[in-house]
Amino acid sequence: MVEFRNVSKTYDNGTKALRDVSLKIEKGEFVFIVGASGSGKSTFLKLIMREEMPNDGEIIVNGRKLSTLRHRDVPHLRRSMGIVFQDFRLIDKMTVYENVSFAMHVVGASPRNIRKRVPYILSLVGLQDKARCYPSELSGGEQQRVALARALVNNPLMIIADEPTGNIDPTLSYEIVELLNEINRRGTTVIMVTHEHSLVKRFRRRVVEINDGCVVADSAQVSVPAAE
C-alpha cells in the first residue's frame, strides 16, 4: 500500500527532515507513527500525499511510483486517501452536511449519490442529528468526527490522520481512535501520527517511531519478520 525505499528529504533551508527511511505499510494495517515534534512525522505524511518530493529514494503508493506522477494526477492520488487534521480543517461557512458533501462534489459524484451517501456516513460517526449545524456550533470532538466523515465519504483506500486527537480532551480522544479502529476493521488502511503514548498503549497496533529523521523503532519488525 505505502512503501518508502531509502527515502531522504532535505528542505531548501538545510533542514534534514528524513534520512534514508525504508518502511512498508501493508493494505489493511493500522499504524501509529510516533515521535517528538520536529522528528519528521509531518514530512512523512507530506511525502505520502506528494505535497513534497524526496531528494533521494522512491515512494510507492497504491503501486504507483510517486516520482513518475504528473502534476495533474496528484488530485487523483489524494482521492484514494482520506486526510484528518489536528485542527479539523472544516470550512466555517458550510454546514456539517455541506462540509462532507463537498468532498463528494470534488470527485464529481452525482447529486443522487451524494444525498444517499452523506447521511449514511454522518450516522456512522454519530452526527446524523447535527447535519444542519455549522462547525462553530460543535464541540472539538464533534468537529473531528465531521472531518473523519469527510475523509471517509469517498471510500478511500487509506485514512491518514495527523494528530487527530491533538485538540480534543483525552476522554473524547479514545472515541476518535475507536472510530478509526472500526474503520480499519472494515478494511481501510489507517496511518495515524500521534505523540500520545496512552493511546498507543491502549490500542495495541503497529508503532513506528521516528526520531531525528530516522525510523528508530518499528514494532512490526519485532513481532513479524520484516518484509522484503
User: Residue 12 or residue 228: which is nearer to another protein going by CB?
Assistant: 12
Minimum CB separation from another protein for residue 224, in Å?
A: 29
Please identify, using beta-carbon distances, which residue of 142 and 162 lies nearer to another protein.
162
Q: How far is the CB of 174 from another protein (least distance, A)?
A: 24
Please provide the DSSP assignment of the chain as one string.
Answer: -EEEEEEEEE-TTS-EEEEEEEEEE-TT-EEEEE--TTSSHHHHHHHHTTSS--SEEEEEETTEEGGG--GGGHHHHHHTEEEE-TT----TTS-HHHHHHHHHHHTT--HHHHHHHHHHHHHHTT-GGGTT--GGGS-HHHHHHHHHHHHHTT--SEEEEESTTTTS-HHHHHHHHHHHHHHHHTT-EEEEE---HHHHHHS--EEEEEETTEEEEEHHHHHSPPP-
Least gap, CB of 171 to another protein (angstroms): 25
Residue closer to another protein (CB basis): 167 or 219? 167
Interface residues with another protein (CB under 8 A) are: 42, 45-46, 49-52, 71-72, 74-79, 83, 85-86, 89-91, 93, 102-103, 105-108, 110-111, 150, 154, 162
CB 140: neighbour CB atoms within 10 A?
17
Taking the complex as a whole, how short is the minimal distance between the CB of residue 84 and another protein, in angstroms?
10
Residue closer to another protein, measured from CB, 29 or 52: 52
Q: Which is nearer to another protein, 109 or 220 (CB)?
A: 109
C-alpha 187/C-alpha 226 separation (Å) is: 22
State the nearest-atom distance from the C-beta of 150 to another protein, in Å: 7
Three cell numbers, residue 145 = 468526527
Smallest distance, Å, CB 90 to another protein?
Answer: 8
Please, which residue, 79 or 195, has the CB nearer to another protein?
A: 79
